[in-house]
Structure 1
Amino acid sequence: MNTEQELLDSAALTVYRLNGQFLTIGDGLAAPAGISVAWWQVLAAVQQQPLPVAGIARAVGVTRQSVQRIADLLVGQGMCEYRPNPAHKRAKLVAITTAGEAAIARIDPQHAAMARRVAEALGPAEFATTVQTLTRLSAALESIITADDPATRTAPPPPAG
């Protein structure tokens, strides 16, 4: 295995571990509001503006089907509502309601405290640098995914000549 492969493996394993850690922390933060971390993700995605299910799925990096299931549950609990989408007749917009805003407000104090703890553990500058690095890694991977069709392109083309 070459160094680049080792780096990719290490990055992936670290991100998988981080995902598990974030889910554990998120579930702990969301539980007092009576919601799961998955529900919180969807609520947070539509907090600034209503989005179609596909837009939420892209924002949080999960399947459209899982977002649809959660959106239906949130609508059933009165934390979100479906609204007409002027850009698309069939793809309704998911919008947060007052009850959804209240759930996020119950999470916010513990969320802020956790953010302070992470900033204290890393230092504010290192925390910001870490977020920037993770964002750049995500953008690079997204660029590669979009540029390549993994079903048909598994290896670089042979050298010309």
Structure 2
Amino acid sequence: MPICDPERSEAGAALTALILDLFRLSNRMLAAGDRLVAGLGLTSARWQVLGSIVAAERPQPVAWLARDMGANRQNVQRIVNDLAAEGLVDFQANPHHRRAQLVVLTARGRDAFAAAMRLQAPWINRLSEGLSVPDIGTTHAVVTALERKLDSDTKD
């Protein structure tokens, strides 16, 4: 149901409704991810950080991982510290910044991430049933456009 407000444009009201749906979806996705990887000793947040490390072209400091995730640096630091305590990540010296160590996966971290992705594949295939690839592409384009607009708003 669109949010009715005389000061919102029609698109603004539609976007407000979409954002509220995205908040609910995000919460449900995190809960589903937690259930999916619980048996591996992971949470959605830990899995997401591991995935960001894997996706990076080279080892990065926590601040860069947080930026790439669109997350708070302190939250990512806490999760990285937990992952390090469990032997899933390690720290390397950063030749460009003495205090901002680089985060790298350990063999155990690579194994945990690979196991999570093996669980994710059949789950995501079931979740995508009945959705069209063009609709998914359109949704992705809208979300990406919103991310760019939000990024440019924070730089102003």
Task: Give the structure 2 partner of residue 101 of structure 1.
Answer: 110
Q: Is the 8 A contact 1:32 1:107 kept in 2?
A: no
Q: Map Cα deviations across residues 89-134 of structure 1 (whole Å, 9 max, x no partner).
A: 1100111111111111111122111221233231222222222221
TM-score, reference length from structure 1: 0.83
Looking at structure 2, the residues matched to 127 and 109 of structure 1 have their Cα atoms a distance apart, in angstroms, of 22
**SS of aligned partner of 2:129:** helix
Relative to 1, partners in 2 of residues 1:82 and 1:63: Cα closer, same or farther, differing over 3 Å?
A: same
Task: Give the structure 1 partner of residue 119 of structure 2.
Answer: 110
- What percent of counterpart residues are identical? 35
Q: Is the 8 A contact 1:80 1:97 kept in 2?
A: yes
4+ long deviations beyond 4 Å: none
Task: Give the structure 2 partner of residue 29 of structure 1.
Answer: 36
Deviates most, 124-133 or 71-80 = 124-133
Deviation (angstroms), 1:46: 0.7
Looking at structure 2, the residues matched to 105 and 137 of structure 1 have their Cα atoms a distance apart, in angstroms, of 31
Task: Give the structure 2 partner of residue 152 of structure 1.
Answer: none
Looking at structure 1, the residues matched to 116 and 16 of structure 2 have their Cα atoms a distance apart, in angstroms, of 34
Looking at structure 1, the residues matched to 51 and 141 of structure 2 have their Cα atoms a distance apart, in angstroms, of 20
Looking at structure 2, the residues matched to 87 and 17 of structure 1 have their Cα atoms a distance apart, in angstroms, of 40
Task: Give the structure 1 partner of residue 148 of structure 2.
Answer: 139
Q: Does 1:47 align with 2:57?
A: no
TM-score, reference length from structure 2: 0.86
Root-mean-square deviation (CA), in Å? 1.5
Deviation (angstroms), 1:7: 2.6
Deviation (angstroms), 1:8: 3.4
Deviation (angstroms), 1:83: 0.6
Looking at structure 2, the residues matched to 21 and 5 of structure 1 have their Cα atoms a distance apart, in angstroms, of 24
Task: Give the structure 2 partner of residue 6 of structure 1.
Answer: 13
Number of aligned residue pairs: give it.
Answer: 147
Q: Which 5+ residue runs of structure 1 have no aligned equivalent?
A: 148-161
Task: Give the structure 2 partner of residue 155 of structure 1.
Answer: none
- Decide which structure has the larger Cα Rg and report it: 1
Deviation (angstroms), 1:73: 1.0
Give matches, 1:47-126, under 5 Å. 47-48=54-55, 49-126=58-135
**SS of aligned partner of 1:47:** helix
